[in-house]
Amino acid sequence: MALKLHVDTHRGVETAFGKIIPEKEAYSYCLRTIAAFSANLFQAMRVVNDDWEDRTAKITEIANMMNCAACAGSPDELFDYLNAFYDEWNIPELVDRQAWIGAIWGDYGDEAEDMAGRVIQFTKDRVEKELDTCPWDIVGSEMCNMTTGMFTANFDIASGGQHGAITNDVALNMCEARGCGNPHCRVVAERLDKFGGEHQGWLDHRNQCTQPVHDTPPERRVRHAQGLRNGQYTQTFGEEQSLEWQYNWVAQMGWTWSVSFPLIAIRDMADSDEELDRIFKIVFSTAGKNSFIDPFAREGLRNWLDIPREIGDNDPRVMGAYIGAIMGCQLVPFEWEAFDKDGVIIKVSTDDFNGRFPMAPLDEITMGYEAQWHNAVKTLVSPEWSVWIDGKDDEYQYINVGRRIDDRMA
C-alpha cells in the first residue's frame, strides 16, 4: 500500500500571515459580511424614516420593480429571455410552464446564499419552502417582506401570459421568518385562482398561507445549503451548479438585492443625498467601534487569522490582516503596497471594490467600509491608528492603516 505522493490541494483564501481560510469557510464569511453591510444600511433607513409600513412598502416596491426589469421590451424579447432560462435550467418542453416555475429562481437563490432548507411542496398550484438558516437573518423584518415581495416578479415573469405584464396571480408569503424569532423562514406561494386569494399589496407578503404547513423535525434540519454540504446545487430538473460558480455569483448578487435595490428607495426617503450620507457614515462608524469592544473578540480575530505573537496588539498589521481577509473572502483582488509596524497600504481597483455587480456599481461600499474600518481599528488595535481611503475617484484606491492626528476625530 503506497502513501500519497503529496497532500491534497484545497481552494482557500490566504491571509496576510499565510494561513489558508478554506473555500467553504470563506464562502460563509463572505455571505455574512454582505449581510452585515446590509444590516447597517437598514439601520440608516430606520433613522431617515421611522414609519415601518411606509419604508417597508417603498423598498418592496423598488425591489419588485428592479426584479421585473427583465420583462422590459417586446413580447419576443420576453420569450427569448424565458426560453434561455428554460434551456439553462434544463426544463423540458412537456412541463406546464406556469407561474410556479418562478419558484426555481427563488430556490436557487436561497441555496446560493446558504439559506439552507428544503422544498416541501412544488406543484403547479402551491410551493412551500422551509429554511433552517439564513445569513441575512440579522437585517430585519423589512427585508423579510421586501424579498418575498421582490420575488413575486419572478412568478410574473415566468407566467409569460401577458408578455411580462404584472399579473400578480400568486400570493407569496413569508409566513415565518428567523429574523422575527421563528425557528425557520418559511415562504409559501399559492395560486390565487386555486385558493381564492386576493391580490397582494406591498405590505401583504408576511400573511399566513391558506393551507397547512409542514414543520421538519429538528433532527432532520440542516446547517448549510447544498453547495456547502455537497459541493454543488442540484436543481429540480437535474441541472447542477458548482460551489465555485455559486461563490462568484453570490459575491456579486448579494450586494445587488440586499444593498443596491433598497438603497434606491432609501435615498428617496431622505431629505437629501447629503443627509443620508451623513447618517450612513454615523451608523457604520458605530458598527465599527462596537465590532471589537470586547477583549475576547480581539483575541478571537487573532486566533482566526493566525497572527503571530511577535505582532503585538498595538500594531497596524492586525487591522490590515482583518481588512485583507474581508476582501479576500469577498473575492475582491488587491495588492499589499505596505505591510509593516509603521502602517499598511492596500491597493485595489476602484471598479473591483465598488462594482461587485458590474451593472450596478456602489460607491456606498467604499463610504461604508471607510467609516466602519476607521472606527473598528480604534477598538481592535488602538485609538492611535486610523483607516482612510485615498483615490476614491481614481482608477485605483488605497486603503491606509496609519497614524493621523485629527482634532475632530469622528
* Tens digits of residue pLDDT in 67-125: 777 555 566 777 777 777 778 878 777 776 665 667 777 888 888 999 999 988 888 88
The pLDDT of residue 70: 58
**End-to-end Cα separation, the chain, in angstroms:** 64
The pLDDT of residue 67: 79
Residue carrying C-alpha cell 405584464: 165
The pLDDT of residue 319: 98
Helix (H, G, I), strand (E, B) or coil at 150: helix
Helix (H, G, I), strand (E, B) or coil at 162: coil
Residue 30, all three cell numbers:
463572505
Residue 298, all three cell numbers:
480581539
The pLDDT of residue 176: 94
Residue 339, all three cell numbers:
505591510
> Using CA atoms, how far apart are residues 363 and 354, in angstroms rounded to an integer?
6
Residue 380, all three cell numbers:
481592535
Residue stretches of the chain with pLDDT short of 50: 162-164
The pLDDT of residue 73: 58
Residue 282, all three cell numbers:
454615523
- Nearest in space to 252 (alpha carbons), one of 378, 169, 341, 365: 365
- 397 strand-pairing partners: 348
Classify the phi-psi angles of 323: left when phi > 0, otherwise alpha if psi is within -120 to 50, otherwise beta: alpha
State the pTM of this model. 0.92
The pLDDT of residue 163: 43
The pLDDT of residue 164: 44
